[in-house]
Each structure stands twice: as C-alpha cells, then as structure tokens.
Amino acid sequence: MTLKGKRAFITGSFQGIGLGIATALAAEGADIVLHGLADAQTISKAEAAVKAAGAGRVESHVSDLRDVHATEALIATILATGPVDILCNNAGIQFTAPIAEMPREKWDDIIAINLTSYFDTMRLLLPQMKERGYGRVINTASVHGLVASIAKSPYISAKHGVIGLTKTAALDYATSGTRESGGVTVNAICPGWVETALIEPQIQARVDLFNGDRAAGIANLLSEKQPSQRMSTPEEIGAVAVFLCSLAAHNITGVSIPVDGGWTAQ
C-alpha cells in the first residue's frame, strides 16, 4: 500500500499517539501536516521523526483549538498550499475530579479541544474531500468513548460525543466517491492503555513496586481493566489508521475500533 500523493493533517501530533499516527502515515509516503502546542525543540524532534519515517513533505502549525477563529484561519492556511486527503483528529487534554469538584473552566476546555475542535476541522475539510471522491477522517476517541470511569466527566462526555459525531459524519458523506476513488469515510479509533510519555510516571511507579521489572509493573497497572495486561504503542495505533486510509477500507465507515486488549469485551 502507498499513500504517496496524499496529504495528512494530524492534530495534536508533536508527540504521543498523534506522532505515532503521523509517522505511520509518513512511512507510506504521505505528506504530513503536524499540529499542536509545543516548544521549538519538541516540534523539531517531531519533524525529524516524521521525515525519517519517509514523509514526502512535512510542515508544522501551532494553534489553540479552543479558538474557533484560529482554527478557521489554520485550515485556510493549510488549504492554501494544497488539499487535505486525510484528517486525523487527535488533540486532547485531560483533568480528573469528581463532578462536584470539577472546575467549570476545565469542562469548557476539555469539551472544546476533545470534541468541538473535531467538529470544526471536519466541517471545514470534509467538503473538499467530497469534491475529489476520496477522504479519510480518523478520530482518536478512546475506550472511554465506549465505557466510563470515575472522576472524568468532561473527558468521558467528549469521547462519547466523538463517537456520535463520527457516526453522523459517516452517514452524511457515505455516498461520496466510488470504490475506485476510495470514497469518503469517517471512523474512530478507541485506544485503551497506550505507552506514551504522558503516563510514564504511572508506569514507573508500578515498575518500582516490582523491583524494576517493567513488564510486571505494566501488567499490574493494567490488571484492573485491560485483560491483555499489555499496552499498545502509538505506532500500533498508527497502523490501524494506515489501514483505514487504504482503498480496501472504502466500505468501513462510521465504526469505532477498540484497541484495548479486551477492556470493552468484559
């Protein structure tokens, strides 16, 4: 499979799952548009990783997805230099607290970035995908788009909303394109535990309990919810995204794919 000639825009992609998706698409030859809020060193490192993976062209943009006007300006800037074939909505933030203790501004921020920004990028980019008969939207939801956990009310609400938004958009564009052109599809990936820098402190705390045995520490951390007791890597999430971008996936739309080691099978 090749994505040469395709251009992918991935939000929240200077590190973590977003960067894993970007490098996986780059390995298939796609041009990559990175995005997020990060310092110059982090951005430079991400660009180097994507180039090394095989991206045809790499560019980076910094913007705050809570600001709809900034998002509209960002999309206009990206489209000014060419179409976007693949949109991966991945940006997200988290804050945990019981409902009664959840700061109101945290609700606003999490809903804005984790849900509303996905709507904004889709409404601005799906029409130009429809015109060409090929487009892929891949939304990073979460296992928490399918099941809930305590003390995460805005995050859970946003991720459940992403799955509903994914289904609706998939139906809106289901007749676009053909088998030969690839059609326009909208899907969600629902990761469980993924090994990223964000959760490394949690991993290390468990590893220390098992005298430095990383595998045992991770298994202990995951034992409550993820039956496989193995984490996914960002690159493995990227591999799922790559398949969804293929022509063979033209009839896979409106689905939410758990990558959760059996979490939601329980």
216 vs 219: CA distance, rounded Å: 5
N-term to C-term CA, the chain: 34
Buried b (16+ CB within 10 A) or exposed e, 16-44: bbbbbbbbbbbbbbbbbbbbbebeeeebe
Catalytic residue, from 118, 134, 155, 173: name it.
Answer: 155
Signed CA dihedral, 261, 264, 265, 266: sign only = positive
208 vs 133: CA distance, rounded Å: 52
**Can 173 be counted among the known catalytic residues?**
no
What positions carry a catalytic annotation?
155
